[in-house]
Amino acid sequence: MAYVIAEPCIGTKDTACVDACPVDCIHPKKDEAAYETSELLYIDPVECIDCGACVPVCPVSAIFALDDLPEKWAHFAEINAKYFNR
């Protein structure tokens, strides 16, 4: 897994990262049914190409490289993966 969306995204779900992603690996999008019920956005750990394009556009600094993910949010790596059944 290259990047992980963590706790600061909860309740925000700003989709600037979705628009910045060149490989469409961040979901749910605003037009997907799951968007309304999801508490945050998720990065597909298999599809992510580790480009980092999503990081600077996140207004709440919720996206971290796996190696830089704060320990208090380490469980978000699994949360992101589970969303995609990975």
* Model confidence, pTM: 0.94
- The predicted pLDDT at position 2 comes to 87
- The predicted pLDDT at position 24 comes to 97
- The predicted pLDDT at position 1 comes to 54
φ/ψ of 26, rounded to 5, equals: -110, 125
Residue 19 is encoded by which pair of tokens?
């628009």
What is the fold of 3-83? Alpha-Beta Plaits (3.30.70)
pLDDT tens track, the chain, 86 positions: 589 999 999 999 999 999 999 999 999 999 999 999 999 999 999 999 999 999 999 999 999 999 999 999 999 999 999 999 99
Positive/negative CA dihedral, 70, 72, 78, 82: negative
